[in-house]
Structures are given as C-alpha cells and as structure tokens.
Amino acid sequence: MVDESNNILHNYNFSQSEMMEENCITVDNNDVVTGLSPKFDCHYKDGILHRAFSVILFDEENRILIQKRSSDKITFPDVWANTCCSHPLDIDGNLEDFDVTLVNAAKRKMNQELGISKEECEELKFQNIGKIEYSCRWDKDWIEREIDYILISKGRPRINPNINEISDHRWVNFDELQAIISGQENIGIIAPWFRLIYDNFIKNSKMNFENLSNIENFEIIRCGEVQIVSDSDEPGHNLMEAISNKREIVEREIMESLSKMGQQRLHGAMTHLFKGGGKRLRAILPRLVGEAVGSANDGHYTLGASIEIIHNFTLVHDDIIDQDPIRRGLDAVHVAYDDSTAINAGDAMLAVGFEILAESEDIPDNNLRQLIITIGEMVRKVAEGQQEDIEFENRDDVSEKEYISMISGKTSAMFETCARTGAILANADYETVNNMANWGLNLGICFQLMDDLIDITGDTQTLGKPAGSDILQGKKTLVAINALSSEYELPNFTKVFGTGECSEEDLSMAVKELEESGAINYAKNRAMEHHRIAHSCLDKLEQTGAVDILRELTDFQLIRIN
C-alpha cells in the first residue's frame, strides 16, 4: 500500500505523514499479537486492530492534564483528549516484554508531544490500570481500531508543547472535567477514547489517583464501535429524529387497533401501558429495517403495531408472574386493575396483534404467511424463555450458556422478529433477511445484558420500575451467575439475594461487592461482544443513511431504551 499511502498523504503535514510509516503492533480481538503493520494501514479505510496507549497525568491536587490535538494531525485533528495518547512501536523495547515497551512508548511520546524533558520523563512512574477495545471512524478515509492500554502517572513536570502535535492544554479538576464531558462547558469535540476512559475509569473513581491505582482489572473492556459526538450533536440524534417522525403514525395505528375492544374496563387495561410513554422502538423497528434493506411501505407500520401490541401483552403477563408493581413509571396493569383483568387484557392484545396483520391491505398475501409464522414463533420463544426464567429462580446453579439461551428467547426473539419481518416485508433476499435477523438477535442480547446492569446500577425513577429488583427477586442474571461462581467473598450480596426486600444500605453494599468482584464488568464486556457482532451484520449492507440509523440504534440502546 506504499504507493497509495504516498498519494494520499501528499497533502498532509510532512512530519505527521512521516509518522504514518511507523510500525504499530497489530493484534486479534483477544489482544494476541499478530504482527507489525504501518500506522497508515492501521488507520486507513477499514484499518487494522492494533495496540495503543493513553496516559492520564495527575498533579498533587488530583487535577489531570488534558490536551487539544493539533489541526495538523491526520486522524482526529482539533479534538480534546487525555494527557497523551499514541502507539507502542517496535522501536520502544523488546516486544516480548510488553510492559517495558509500553512504558518506553509513554516516555517517548510525553517528550515528543508535551516537550517534557527526558530527565523528567524518566522520573515519572507509570501504572497500567486496564485496557479498552473500541473503533471509531473519523471520516470516510480514517479510523481508529484499537486496544488501548490506560496508564496513570503523577507529577507536575514542565510542559513545552510541540505545536505540531498540541494546540492547547490545561489542568482540570473532576468537576471541570464532568462539565466538559457533559457539554455544560463547550470546549469542542472530545476524543471518543477519552470519553470511554472517563466512563470506564475516571467517573467511578471520582478522578482520584489513589482510587485508580487500586484497580486490578485487566480484562479487555469491550466498547465496540462508537460515534464522534460533535458540538451540536448528541448520541442517537438521527435515530431520535427518525423515531420522532414515525412515532405518531405507529401510535395512531396501535390505538386504533386496540379500539376493537368495546368492553370499557378491558379496553382501559389494554391501553394502560401505552399511557406510560416510551419511544415505541419495537413498533418502528420493522420500518427502519425496511428502509435500510429494501422498499418500505405502510404495511411496516401495521407490522410494527402488531409486534408492539404483542410485546405489551408479554409485559402485562410478566409483571403478574414477577409481581412487579411498576412499569414505565405507572402502576402495572395487574395493580391498576386486578390480576384477572390483566390476564384477560393480555390475551385480547395477543389476538388483536394477529388480527390487524390479516386485515391490512398493505401486506401482500405472499408475505402474510411468513409474517404470521415468524411472529407466532416469536410468541412461543418468549413463552419458553419466560418459563426458563421462572425455573431458574428455583435452581441453585444456572450456567452462562443457559442464561444466554433463555434471554435469546425471552427478550432477543422480539428484536430478531422485528428485524426479520421488516426485511421480509421489504422483499429483501433470503441472505439479507437472515443477516438482519442475526443483527436483531445480537441487538436483543446486548439490550438484555445492559438492562440487567441498569437494574443494578440505576434508580427507580429513571428505570420506571424498582431499582435492584433482580437482586431482591434472586434472578439468575449474568451478573449474578458470574458473581456466584467466583471465589470472591460476597457476604452482603448473599444476604439480600432473593430476599424480596432489604434496606437501601444493604442493597448498596451488595452492588458494591458486585462491582469489586468484577461481575458487573464481566457482564458489560459480554454485552459489548454482542454489540460488536450486531455492527458486523450491518457492515454487510450497502452503507446508506438508513443503515446509519440502525448503527445509531445499535449504539444508543446501550444507554437506555424504554
């Protein structure tokens, strides 16, 4: 790729272009070294996964040094980042002793970028506190695909920035950094890897050097494919706009469909959960998939309404089974009405969901049979998954494989069906239909794993259901399975797990133990693995604006979907 790189780099700053010839250490997804490749090859077009490092330098007041990358940088120019970030190279030490290579690389770049003297660099002590895996595209040509080692150090060396590397720098405390990351103080674009470092290390430690130095988790934190957040953009902006444009249509379709029920109390129970808001994601998802893979039509809205109504039928019955009193910030249907009415309402919603499909003039007969079979299979899988979930509560041991299988039915089947039927109705070919089903399946697994984490780390008001209810009910989530199978002492978690109720203090201590044992981080990493697979499915499609919206959905559901 030498000739191509020479042509492409011709218009860039000479010293930056020259560094594109340096050999980076390439790795596989498990961080096993696969060889050496020029920096250009590692960052151009699809790029190659390689090792990187990021330094966070603290002073005695627990402030950290942040820098603004020069406009001459080829990748991610003019963005604010952590103290120093670059790549360990084959020139930095013996690759068989990577710890030495890593520290040598940090010292070399602290000198080259920040102008810190070699003598002062030698005095700095570097500690590796973990590593993150992520990818982020800058533009159509340049990408970061890294396993980034996070190094911390403490000191107040003299800074003399290399203007070819850095255009600005400043020391910030925790409150100031929080304001910058949240956008309350707008200083420009924040480097995606710096946001990930903040989310996974700095935020939880309150940016305290001593707290960070006690971290001993060296599993790769899987962050998957992330987006640049610009000054005027928020995560999921295009997705939210697409949902907003379609929500009114599908909402009207849902309420008109439910109006088939003339019995007043039953109609009230059937429509109750829809009064709690929500993005109607599942209802809109078939249409979004249809737009991404073929020719969408109005039948996609009826299809989405059908799946959303059936989804809510499962929620009504789930809340009765689990005896959850809150759903979407409202009383659950069985609380607002009674168990018998709630069961009856769920049954009627299931019937309406199939009825509107058969009545639709926008769904061709040649598609109808496939849609009904697929949605029927979904209902069966959800029921199987729900039954397995119930039985897990009475078992002492549940394996990780069994849990993933269970949520593949109970939760993921819904996403899988939305994607598969959306592609079928858009007349996509067989291969594309199956690819989209695989995307939906992995999206759903990721969603449920993140939902499990949110149940533990969120609060009742944000969740719209009791925080920590999975712990109190003794649910065998992946977090619980990993914790219970570890050798880590969990006295508080064991005390409250499955008790039904406990004090806020006891629950807080139980959550702290799950964090310290690594169980929470393990579940997050598994979620990110399915997130990566979902993105790989989208890579197989022709890249359009509609596919970009599905990418945003794949990322945005990590934050929260109601």
For 138-168, the pLDDT digits (tens) are 888 899 999 999 999 999 999 999 988 998 9
461 pLDDT exceeds 50?
no
In single-letter form, the type of residue at position 464 comes to G
- Of the candidates 69, 89, 51, 184, the one whose C-alpha atom is nearest the C-alpha of residue 138 is 69
Q: Do the Cβ atoms of 69 and 77 come closer than 8 Å?
A: yes
**Any residues with CB less than 8 A from the CB of 43 and at least 6 apart, and which?**
20, 74, 75, 142, 143, 144, 145
| Confidence (pLDDT) at 118 | 94
Q: Identify the CATH class of 237-556.
A: mainly alpha
Per-residue confidence band for 111, with pLDDT thresholds at 50, 70 and 90: very high
- Domain residue extents for the chain: 2-226, 237-556
463 pLDDT exceeds 60?
no
DSSP alpha helices (H): ranges in 473-503?
478-485, 491-496
Lowest mean pLDDT across 118-127, 297-306, 514-523: 514-523
Question: What distances in angstroms separate CA 409 from CA 74, 349, 380, one per listed residue?
Answer: 45, 20, 8
| Confidence (pLDDT) at 184 | 76
Distance CA 216, CA 19 (A): 33
**Residue 194: CA count within 13 A, CB half-sphere:** 27
Distance CA 139, CA 74 (A): 11
For residue 323, what are its two tokens?
């005896």
Per-residue confidence band for 561, with pLDDT thresholds at 50, 70 and 90: very low
Lowest mean pLDDT across 12-21, 310-319, 387-396, 493-502: 12-21
Question: What distances in angstroms separate CA 429 from CA 41, 416, 424, 435, 495, one per listed residue?
Answer: 34, 16, 8, 10, 53
User: pTM of the prediction?
Assistant: 0.62
Q: What is the percent of the chain with per-residue pLDDT over 90, rounded to a whole number? A: 59
6 pLDDT exceeds 70?
no
**Residue 264: CA count within 13 A, CB half-sphere:** 0
Indicate the average pLDDT of the chain: 88
Distance CA 410, CA 448 (A): 9
- Average pLDDT rounded to a whole number, residues 68-96: 86
Report the CATH architecture of 2-226: Alpha-Beta Complex (3.90)
Distance CA 213, CA 129 (A): 7
Question: What distances in angstroms separate CA 36 from CA 19, 41, 47, 87, one per listed residue?
Answer: 15, 10, 13, 12
Instruction: Name the packing angle between helices 430-457 and 281-293 (round to 10°).
Output: 150
460 pLDDT exceeds 60?
no
3-state DSSP assignment of residue 156? coil
Whether 237-556 and 2-226 are alike in CATH topology: the answer is no
